Amino acid sequence: MTAVQGTTVDIPTEDGTADAYLSHPGDGSPHPAVLLYMDAFGVRPRLNAMADRLAEAGYTVLVPNVFYRHGRAPVFELPEFIDDASRPALFEQIVPVMQALTPERAMQDADAYLRWLADSPVVADGPVAITGYCMGAGLALRTAGTYPERVAAAAGFHGGRLATDGPDSPHLLAEHITAELYFGHADEDPSLPAEQIKRLEDALTTAGVRHHCEVYPGAHHGYTQSDTSAYHREGDERHWAALLDLLDRTF
């Protein structure tokens, strides 16, 4: 197992400074980059541990606090374990912050994250891969469509609102995507109903995007997050296998 180095870094953006967690193999060599987009609960020990696992596999991983306009991580005071009882009060705080991150702001930030990675001595030359969770899956899809020349692969897990009927839905960028995509959808996810799954699949197929989309039976929204009551071990393990396989094919 590769020893990893993890640290907090600051990324200059057009609207300020985004704090981020950076993890990479401790061998002093540059490695392919993975941009890991957080879920709504934000950058915290669970996501840092996920980044470390990817770094152990040979990647340089950046986990930006996409809510940096509202403060450094942790933006919200989270319990050690996020159970069903604690969710309503948390989401009262989280939803307005999520809504403030417009697609335009998010993609302006994505440019800053990608530029930072391109300039980092611990990142190998070439395009990056992206993985995103919950809201981060939509950010991954949107980034792949906005910066196709810089994204070689993108994955999303238990993503919501990936293919709405709104004018700024991320699936509408499908025609611009050149990356290979993978999506592991949560089972019976109210934020991604069957009609959105079909709309996403149809858009990717029509655009000729290399992709694979699967629904994980029994795995509900948030299934990769072991610090929450939504965690589903089988779904999480399946996610790791699919993600590492995608990265292995890409790099």
Task: Give the tens place of pLDDT for each residue, 103-160.
Answer: 999 999 999 999 999 999 999 999 999 999 999 999 999 999 999 999 999 999 999 9
Q: Is 221 a catalytic residue?
A: yes
119 is catalytic: no
**Average pLDDT value over all residues in the chain:** 97
Domain count, the chain: 1
Which one is catalytic: 109, 189, 227, 236? 189
pLDDT over 80 at 1, yes or no:
no
- Domain extent for 240: 4-250
> Does 189 qualify as catalytic in the annotation?
yes
Are 39 and 136 a contacting pair, CB within 8 Å? yes
Q: What are the pLDDT digits (tens) for 163-218?
A: 999 999 999 999 999 999 999 999 999 999 999 999 999 999 999 999 999 999 99
> Looking at residue 2, what is its pLDDT?
72
- Which among 134, 185, 211, 236 is annotated as catalytic? 134
Name the active-site residue from 158, 171, 221, 239.
221
Residue 27: give its domain's CATH number: 3.40.50.1820
Q: Using DSSP bridges, classify how beta strands 16-25 and 33-37 pair: parallel, antiparallel or unpaired.
A: unpaired
Question: 152: how many CB neighbours lie within 10 A of its CB?
Answer: 22
Whole-structure pTM value:
0.98
Instruction: Report residue 31 CA to chain centroid gap.
Output: 19
